[in-house]
Structure 1
Amino acid sequence: MLAENNSVFVASMLDYPVPKNEAQRLAALHQLKLLDTPDDPVFDRVTRLVTRLLDIPTAIVTLIDADRQWIKSRVGFTTRETPRSVAFCSHTIAEGAPLVVEDARQDPRFSANPLVDCDNGIRFYAGIPLLTSEDYAIGSLCAMDTQPRYLHEDELSALKDLTAILNDEICLREHLTREQQRRAASQRELDALHKSLEEQIERRTRELNLVIEAAYDAYISVDDNHRVLDWNRAAAAMFGWTRQEALGQLLQALIFPHGVPEYDDTTTIEVNTCRRDGREMPVEVRVKSLCVEGKHRYSLFVHDIAERRQLEQLRDREAREDALTLLPNRRALDERLFDAMARARRLKQPLAVLFLDLDGFKAVNDEYGHAVGDELLREIGKRLRHSVRETDYVARWAGDEFVMVLEGMSPDAMQGLGEKLIHTIEAPIRVGELSLYVSTSIGVAIYRPVCEETAQELLKRADVTMYDAKHAGKAQVKIAQQE
């Protein structure tokens, strides 16, 4: 591995180029707050894909700081940071374009680099700049090998596409960071305003009303019985009730049909509210209480978080979805299988797990390239989804392996279903002008509620049985013996 000789770096006198916009670039990098952060599944997923798509041992995501190269994600590279002076990515961000070095020993820029001039040093490097929304190059996505090699055009395109995914993530984080800063600034302003109101509430009532009317968030003032005392413009726009219609009404009748949630000054709550037209809307509610002439009054500041919820749901879905086939991934399968086994025990029904491995897929990849192989995998995923019931579960395990979870099916039907799946996979697959042919070997493991078997043991049993099918001649179905 590349990093085995790099655990300690000696200060180097190597020169490296510095972008003309270095000050602005560093400011953009630090504002993202990505440096020295824990591993992130979004970045780690991309580096794993790089190693698989390019069949290369090492892939990293780097961030170039003032005097160091910090590594956000890595596969095949154990070091977390290096001096900037030895970083190939310093040249990538300076050029602002893809950098490919087929043999670093023959390149005068890198031949004396301590990462090159050593056993198992870097020979091949390909890096694509990571860009912010304002096109500041803050680092790169790169692939490395200890052997010289040539990067094909389709491989470079794949690397660019994966970099584009990371650039989109970076732009999203920029947006979220700016939004958090804006909200934090708004929060500070509102807190300062509220403190002033407690001290001068009578004298500054008019000023307070003007500020509240112009506020970005909805402002609702209620008494001890949750009857509306004030209702600003943002509240009217958010919930559909005018100020005149809302005044004097119970808060429950206007926006909390299931009852007003409990709240206090110390916590922020997230809750679903209801608009006048009946549509539900998730909001964040902050509450401040004050006492005026012995009577309690509560000020509710309500912020629409529908967009944030959608982003969170999107991120959650992406974390459980295979990027290539759009099938559930291994993480999602683990969760589904655990629940399915619990249902099987409760309903006392059998459960089948099918482990499928394609026969002949490597030959397709070797002959036609990874792009054709990817199209083939997408088509296989579609065929598998359409070959089983809507309630059945199809996931991509890894590479050319797929797993099916079938609930409530008779064990006697497994042989016939497996043979049907083999015929489905063996049908010709058209990719452009090509007709591709692959098959599949299937291992079946039946889970019975009386067994004390874990999800991982069940999957392992199906996996081992699949290899029995391969060794028996491929394109076969084997059913595991019951543990």
Structure 2
Amino acid sequence: MQVAPYPINEAARLEFLRSLDILDTPPAERFDRFTRVLAELVQVPIALVSLVDADTQWFKSRVGMDACETSRDIAFCAHALHADGALIIEDASTDIRFHDNPLVVGAPFVRFYVGIPLRSSDGYVVGTLCAIDTRPRSIKPSTLSAMKDLARAVERELFHGSMAGQARTVFEDERRARSLSETRFATVFEETPTGKALVDLSGRLEVVNRKFCEITGYSAEELICRTFQEITHPDDLEADLALVADLIAGRRKNYALEKRYVRKDGTLVWVDLHVAILRDAAGAPLHLIAAILDITPRKHSEALIQNYQHELERRVTERTLDLVQSQRTLQSIADNIPMLIAQVDSELRYVFNNARYQEIFNVDPLSLRGKSIQTVLTPPVFDELLPYFNRALAGNRSTRDDIRYDELDGRIWRATYIPDVRDGAVVGFFVMSQDVTEQKRKEKSLTDRALLDHLTGLPNRAALMEKLTDAVDSAQRGLTDFSVYFLDLDGFKRVNDDYGHDLGDELLCQVSERLRQKVRQQDTVCRLAGDEFVVIASGAKAQDTCERIASAMCASLMQPFHMRGHTIRIGTSVGVAVCPAYASITPEHLLASADAAMYQAKRGGRNCYRFAPAVQMQDGHA
């Protein structure tokens, strides 16, 4: 067995892969639909979206494979990292690289393999979209081409987050470029692999690069005589102009939009457009800078997937109608599916219910036939779901995923309402309701882990910046005022040095608890990092009030801490920054001001507090 060599850019590749924050994440329908389509397209029992980490091959989506990961040493996909277009193995048992591979000689007994590398715009191959069969075979060129289209669509899902920031990156690049020579600017502008354009505020194209000319089919001289309005498809122009108006008015800093250009030869090209605005030092708008990526192949792939999904839904609908005609078969199947299933007519009366209604609502399903939905649902739940019923009766499929049929039960349900269309008319709808309590719990757990400090349980830096941003936004609109307290413990390093980090961590937990006890319920205590804490006190801006709060925190933390037979004494230096209503300041500057005031307290003798300079008010407010 041959082990695949590492790519020459392995370190950078791994850093990029981990920056996507997708490894070891739960299954996602947006990836699962690709593996389902791939399995059907290539007619194979196994289809995977595989990501290759340092030592592990991890499956973000899988069809026909129980394992969620394998060792990289035996991974076929590790070899596919080096393929330009595709790695195709028609019979692994005769291939010198794989004939004795554990995945060939043992389960799942791989024989046929084809893997399409998933490559970012920067050239990093993070994994593959691959199809596997247990018998030797080949793949038709047309099928391989369609598989590559699917891989491009998977890349879009993987790398969309990084592309979403491209317009902001372009903005920052162009801002720095103003201080460089025109020659260097032209070189960067021309050599970038995406289309670029500098546009004046009326929409006239001032500067375009070679890639943008390639996308639109015009020469640079022809484009500079035009506006972006002239080459934009008429159906997409209104949305584009509205977003440009928001940019110029300062209601947004950038925007992203998928739209169509009309090429010189009259054909259409789909693009992913990212636009930012350049302003002068006084904030006046100067130009628009646009980054353009040709996404026509992805759009074609999406159309293929959508058509396939419509075909699948059509077949499911036909099969469902057949099952409805055979009541016994439907009842047997529906009763054994772990979800609520019902058929409702146009008058909101039950036509069919499965056995799960007995378990959930304690009512005989047969007794519900011909009765109104209101027989089962409480009035608040019925009023909440009535718009979804009406939408289904209007011929539109819809889903609601936070339903509580019984507040005392505690379970959360996701219900889908599918129109029942016969001979072109909607005669009712089908209800499919699934218990998603565990899924919601896991989602909340993931959110909590992202926003809570693992040691103290306090909100962490990310949560602090969210709360501080909301507070500053409310203050700027004159809705509230508040104060910020930046605390740094005095003598904490000595505790770590004398007693060890375990006791130091325990001390941080006790400090956190004392701070919680000293603030009101509506106030927020956060652990910023190390021995730094931040408190946000809403509605507190008077100096005597802020002094009482800061003094109380200092006094509380001066009291001895008794831990493991030791008496620990520390203090705290506090920086106070007040944010009044109609303040003109950013969250970052406010936090920095409190930080600077804290260092003044350090220099002033420690275990005391100092105030930051007063925050400037917006024009027109005193």
Tell me whether the two structures share a fold, i.e. TM-score over 0.5: yes
Query: Is residue 338 from structure 1 mapped to residue 338 from structure 2 by the alignment?
Result: no
- Matching residue of 2:487: 356
Query: Is residue 234 from structure 1 mapped to residue 360 from structure 2 by the alignment?
Result: no
Q: 1:37 to 1:362 in 2, by over 3 A?
A: closer
Q: 1:447 to 1:273 in 2, by over 3 A?
A: closer
Write the deviation string for residues 61-83 of structure 1: whole angstroms up to 9, x where unpaired: 9543545699xxxxxxxxx9xxx
Query: Is residue 308 from structure 1 mapped to residue 439 from structure 2 by the alignment?
Result: yes
Pick from 267, 270, 278 the counterpart of residue 400 of structure 2: 270
- 8 Å contact kept, 1:219–1:232: yes
- Matching residue of 2:318: 195
- 8 Å contact kept, 1:252–1:260: no
Stretch deviating more after TM superposition (379-388 or 253-262) = 253-262
Q: 1:362 to 1:274 in 2, by over 3 A?
A: closer
Once residues 474 and 43 of structure 1 are traced to their aligned partners in structure 2, the CA distance between those partners, rounded to angstroms, is 45
Q: Which amino acid aligns with 1:260?
A: L
- 8 Å contact kept, 1:63–1:69: no
The Cα of 1:266 is off from its aligned counterpart by 7.0
Q: 1:315 to 1:384 in 2, by over 3 A?
A: same
Once residues 336 and 312 of structure 2 are traced to their aligned partners in structure 1, the CA distance between those partners, rounded to angstroms, is 13
Pick from 482, 501, 507 the counterpart of residue 376 of structure 1: 507
SS for the counterpart of 1:257 is helix
Write the deviation string for residues 100-156 of structure 1: whole angstroms up to 9, x where unpaired: xxxxxxxxxxxxxxxxxxxxxxxxxxxxxxxxxxxxxxxxxxxxxxxxxxxxxxxxx
Pick from 11, 17, 40 the counterpart of residue 21 of structure 2: 40
Q: Which amino acid aligns with 1:251?
A: I
- Matching residue of 2:497: 366
Query: Is residue 260 from structure 1 mapped to residue 386 from structure 2 by the alignment?
Result: yes
Q: 1:274 to 1:309 in 2, by over 3 A?
A: closer
- 8 Å contact kept, 2:323–2:330: no
Query: Is residue 221 from structure 1 mapped to residue 333 from structure 2 by the alignment?
Result: no
Query: Is residue 444 from structure 1 mapped to residue 576 from structure 2 by the alignment?
Result: yes
Once residues 474 and 278 of structure 1 are traced to their aligned partners in structure 2, the CA distance between those partners, rounded to angstroms, is 52
Structure-1-length-normalised TM-score: 0.59
Structure-2-length-normalised TM-score: 0.46
Once residues 596 and 575 of structure 2 are traced to their aligned partners in structure 1, the CA distance between those partners, rounded to angstroms, is 7
Q: 1:217 to 1:378 in 2, by over 3 A?
A: same
Once residues 384 and 67 of structure 1 are traced to their aligned partners in structure 2, the CA distance between those partners, rounded to angstroms, is 48
Pick from 414, 417, 432 the counterpart of residue 287 of structure 1: 417
- Matching residue of 2:593: 461
Q: Which amino acid aligns with 1:64?
A: T
- 8 Å contact kept, 2:55–2:72: no
Once residues 17 and 515 of structure 2 are traced to their aligned partners in structure 1, the CA distance between those partners, rounded to angstroms, is 42
Unaligned runs of 5+ in 1: 1-5, 11-34, 45-60, 71-79, 81-187
SS for the counterpart of 1:284 is strand
Query: Is residue 397 from structure 1 mapped to residue 538 from structure 2 by the alignment?
Result: no
SS for the counterpart of 2:386 is coil
The Cα of 1:443 is off from its aligned counterpart by 0.3
Aligned pair count reads 322
The Cα of 1:414 is off from its aligned counterpart by 1.9
- Matching residue of 1:64: 56
- Matching residue of 2:371: 249
Once residues 397 and 19 of structure 2 are traced to their aligned partners in structure 1, the CA distance between those partners, rounded to angstroms, is 27
SS for the counterpart of 1:452 is coil
- Matching residue of 2:267: none
The Cα of 1:281 is off from its aligned counterpart by 4.5
- Matching residue of 1:26: none
Once residues 453 and 69 of structure 1 are traced to their aligned partners in structure 2, the CA distance between those partners, rounded to angstroms, is 56
Stretch deviating more after TM superposition (336-345 or 397-406) = 336-345
Higher RCO, 1 vs 2 (CA within 8 Å, ≥6 residues apart): 1
The Cα of 1:302 is off from its aligned counterpart by 0.9
